[in-house]
Amino acid sequence: FQDQLLKQAKQGVSIYCSSLSENNSLEEFANDFLGRVHGPPQPQISSETTSVTNKTSFSSTNAYALLTELRKKRYLIILDNFEQILDSNGFPREEGYQAFLKLILEHDIVESRVLLVGRWLPKDQIGREPIAYELTGMDMADGESFLRSMNISLPKDQSEHVINQLGGNPLSMQLC
């Protein structure tokens, strides 16, 4: 996967990664993204609602600037821990993220792509599910190699037990 990301970066795709928390608003995400792309934020002239399409509006100048930037240049945006901004029903807690997701799913953002990484998917909002890739754990050989790379030496039966119990999940094995 990293090789594909590096290949994309060499083809003129800028990569932006962010790990979300439940307190992240779309405005904060937009400010951070624009700050990395254009430098420190400029004073805002207006925070009026700006129409992005005939179906969607954003109540922030920076959220509108984010969408404008995503349309004019190629970006791969990776939003990790995406489940942190979802409510218990699987919908984004904030209307800004709901509108942002809707635009992504409608492919209104032509030049850029967004990769949502999380434990579960956002609920269908426009009659179209996002493309989902379920990640599985490492197989036994890779799991044993991973344990050795962390200087953990266990008898074969114990390492197999640990790998099976944790589903081959590298983060779980690292935390264990």
84-119 pLDDT, tens digit per residue, is: 888 888 888 888 888 777 777 666 666 788 888 887
Q: Under a CB-based contact definition with an 8 Å cutoff, are residues 147 and 162 in contact?
A: yes
Give the amino acid at 175: L
For range 52-58, the mean pLDDT: 43
Label residue 140 by pLDDT band (50, 70, 90).
very high
Count other C-beta atoms under 10 Å from residue 76's C-beta. Answer: 17
How high is the pLDDT of residue 4? 60
Q: What angle, rounded to 10 degrees, do the helices at 61-72 and 95-105 form? A: 20
Q: Are 92 and 85 in contact (CB under 8 A)?
A: yes
pTM exceeds 0.85: no
- For position 124, what pLDDT does the model report? 63
Cβ contact 32:94 at 8 Å: no
Residue 127's pLDDT is 59
d(CA 69, CA 102): 17
Closest CA to 68 of 45, 52, 48: 52
66 and 104 Cβ atoms separated by less than 8 Å: no
Q: Judge contact between 150 and 142, C-beta under 8 A.
A: no
Rounded to whole angstroms, how far apart are CA atoms 44 and 55? 24
How far is residue 29's CA from residue 16's CA, in Å, rounded to a whole number? 11
d(CA 163, CA 148): 12
Neighbours of 53 (CB within 10 A): 12
Q: How far apart are CA 15 and CA 24, in angstroms?
A: 20
**For residue 137, what pLDDT is reported?**
87
